[in-house]
Homo-oligomer: A and B are copies of this chain.
Amino acid sequence: MSPRTEKQFEIIRKEKKELIMETALELFATEGYHNVSVSDIAEAAKISKGLMYNYFGSKEELLLSIAHTGITDVTKAFDFNKDGILTRQELTLFIHMIFKTVKTNKKFWRLYFMLFLQPDVSEIVKADFLAFQDRIYQIAYSYFLEQGYEDPESELLMLSALIDGVAFQFVITGEYSNYPLNRLEEYILKKYSMDKK
With a cutoff of 8 Å between Cβ atoms, the chain B residues found around residue A188 in the complex are 158
Interface stretch, picked from A68-76, A79-87, A93-101, A179-187, is A179-187
A114: Cβ under 8 A from any B Cβ: yes
Q: Please pick, from B151, B161, B171, B183, the residue contacting A169 in the complex, using a CB distance under 8 A.
A: B161
Cβ–Cβ contact A160 & B164, under 8 A: no
- Cα distance, A151 to B184, chains bound together (Å): 11
A154: Cβ under 8 A from any B Cβ: yes
Q: How far is the CB of A3 from chain B (nearest CB, A)?
A: 8
- Cα distance, A180 to B183, chains bound together (Å): 29
With a cutoff of 8 Å between Cβ atoms, the chain B residues found around residue A35 in the complex are 120
Q: Known contacts A158-B188, A161-B162, A162-B161; is A168 also within 8 Å of B169 by CB?
A: no
- Cα distance, A147 to B197, chains bound together (Å): 21
With a cutoff of 8 Å between Cβ atoms, the chain B residues found around residue A164 in the complex are 164-165, 168-169
Cβ–Cβ contact A117 & B119, under 8 A: no
- Cα distance, A160 to B162, chains bound together (Å): 9
**How many copies of this chain does one complex carry?**
4
Cβ–Cβ contact B157 & A161, under 8 A: no
Q: How far is the CB of A83 from chain B (nearest CB, A)?
A: 29
With a cutoff of 8 Å between Cβ atoms, the chain B residues found around residue A33 in the complex are 34
Task: Give A72-131 interface residues, CB cut-off 8 Å to B.
Answer: 110, 113-114, 116-120
Q: How far is the CB of A162 from chain B (nearest CB, A)?
A: 5
With a cutoff of 8 Å between Cβ atoms, the chain B residues found around residue A30 in the complex are 119
Q: Please pick, from B34, B165, B174, B180, the residue contacting A165 in the complex, using a CB distance under 8 A.
A: B165
